[in-house]
Structure 1
């Protein structure tokens, strides 16, 4: 890159100069012209041509480096483009401006559509909470034989609504992350209280040893992740137990004795929309929960991993060690 590129770009001019020189030599030989007079004129023309070539190379090099520096800036603005050096460059710049304006208009339209969709679903998610709360109140005041099952179904609806809100927030331009030192035990207990009726309804045992450590995280978003993982543990554990424990160094593990995950599904469980074999059996699976967990934890500076054996259960590990992020 540099002088070789310049020679290649100007190859027609150099070839033309060499061709003219060859013609001059042929005429010199055919007509037996005085070598000194013709040679002096040729040398003078050569010096002028070489000087023009050096000047052209300097100008070309400056424009080339300037355009290279604008490679990233041109994605956002065309104001700093160098002035065109020819009518052909001017035509190219007009085409570039037209494409830039069309892209900007398309991007603005897409952004507007996404914002409208986000506003609509956010409004829907908040409005649906009113009838959910009303149904929950009715079920609490009227004890029916089906109350237990209805409460569990209503609780699942609440979880899906929270999932929608989380999905919208993660895709928005701004988030409400508040990173600070949070005691881990209250976060875990809050999630376990939410799912206590589910454990009782399915007859599952819960094993939890209180922890006494703090982690740098966002309390609300980590709670959302725990709720998603507990939801999966309860959903795919027909009988047995769920264990929540803390392992060193700062690894929170949620382990169940449920159906487990097939080995061929494990590498893809965090992909958006991927449900695997269990999802094809359980038509209610969306393939969004673990995807949101990984995205959320990634933005919090944490990581997540899964080990599973079909028929024996699954262990999900949240690695709470985190990369450096701005604190509150």
Structure 2
């Protein structure tokens, strides 16, 4: 702040120095003017000038230091009262702009909340005819027509489900309910949802879990399983997807497919929002949101997620669940 203050006043400082040298030059040129007296006057005036600068620095920087706080929270309440006409003009302008920005931010927040509520309501409304469509398809006898219809229905269902969870992400912490969960039951529920798609692609599941009970939130954990299983099915063809689990202080669960795999340069970015692939960039089935949402949810559930993949051989996603003590400490159970 001192450097900024001196730089702002550089013209006045240079003018003062110029005048001192000007007076001394006149004293050297005019023998009638004693040089010692001019030097004494210059010394005293320099002391007064330094004192004046110090006084003005203390007086003026209070206002501008307060402006630094204003830039962070858009409130003018912490800024000292202006001490000059120019500061008063600036104070008035900033007060009006700060109020305008807060009103605009509040209005934007209200609109975003309204749009989110409208979208959530729309998703719930759409689920009603989707459920009716599913019941109608179940009664169809033409299997050749039924299979592709169920596949397209499933795609719509999964996209709506992903959008629903994405919009509820900011209130996830308020929605968590930690309880004892049988992960095998959750896995079978999600596999059953994907059954028609798996039959169409000739995909089976090989499940071997050493332990099935964890402490977590069943709704959000189901979404994690849904995303990982959907990816495994999407990029596999006529193979079995292996689901294995280990017991211990920290249970692990791995989902391994034998699909196309992930390129090494893509692995560090697969959990980035909107990232699809550098190799299969034009793949229209990818949205770049599934694994991003999965990572956000697993972080909130204190679950570590690791990926191991070889191009052409498949991918393995491993979930490492927290131990019970960690869950109790963090969740306040």
**TM-score normalised by the chain length of structure 2:** 0.81
- Counterparts of 2:239 and 2:163, CA distance in 1: 30
The residue aligned with 2:308 is 307
Question: How far is the alpha carbon of 1:240 from its aligned partner?
Answer: 1.1
Note the alpha carbon deviations across 1:58-98, whole angstroms, 9 max, x for none: 33454555445x166x4242221222232223333344334
User: How big is the alpha-carbon RMSD for the aligned residues of Structure 1 and Structure 2?
Assistant: 3.2
Mapped contact 2:24–2:38 kept (Cα < 8 A) = no
Mapped contact 1:84–1:90 kept (Cα < 8 A) = yes
Any idea what SS the aligned residue of 1:304 has? Answer: strand
Mapped contact 2:181–2:216 kept (Cα < 8 A) = no
Mapped contact 2:244–2:253 kept (Cα < 8 A) = yes
Question: How far is the alpha carbon of 1:230 from its aligned partner?
Answer: 0.6
Question: How far is the alpha carbon of 1:226 from its aligned partner?
Answer: 0.6
Q: Does structure 1 residue 117 correspond to structure 2 residue 115?
A: yes
Q: Does structure 1 residue 221 correspond to structure 2 residue 223?
A: no
Note the alpha carbon deviations across 1:198-253, whole angstroms, 9 max, x for none: 44444322111234365454321121011011111112211110111225753321
Q: Does structure 1 residue 58 correspond to structure 2 residue 58?
A: yes
Mapped contact 2:60–2:83 kept (Cα < 8 A) = no
After superposition, where does 1:146-295 map in structure 2 within 5 Å? 146-170=145-169, 172=170, 176-178=174-176, 180-185=178-183, 186-212=185-211, 214-247=213-246, 249-276=250-277, 277-278=279-280, 280-281=282-283, 283-295=284-296
Mapped contact 1:179–1:326 kept (Cα < 8 A) = no
Query: Aligned pair count?
Result: 323
Mapped contact 1:169–1:175 kept (Cα < 8 A) = no
- Counterparts of 2:177 and 2:210, CA distance in 1: 20
Mapped contact 1:179–1:327 kept (Cα < 8 A) = no
Distance 1:125 1:293, change over 3 A: same
The residue aligned with 1:90 is 88
Mapped contact 2:207–2:243 kept (Cα < 8 A) = yes
Note the alpha carbon deviations across 1:100-127, whole angstroms, 9 max, x for none: 3443344344334423332222121101
- Counterparts of 1:225 and 1:292, CA distance in 2: 8
Give structure 2 stretches of 5+ with no counterpart: none
More displaced 10-residue stretch of structure 1: 135-144 or 33-42 = 33-42
- Counterparts of 1:47 and 1:271, CA distance in 2: 61
Any idea what SS the aligned residue of 1:209 has? Answer: strand
More displaced 10-residue stretch of structure 1: 74-83 or 45-54 = 45-54
**TM-score normalised by the chain length of structure 1:** 0.82
Mapped contact 2:63–2:81 kept (Cα < 8 A) = no
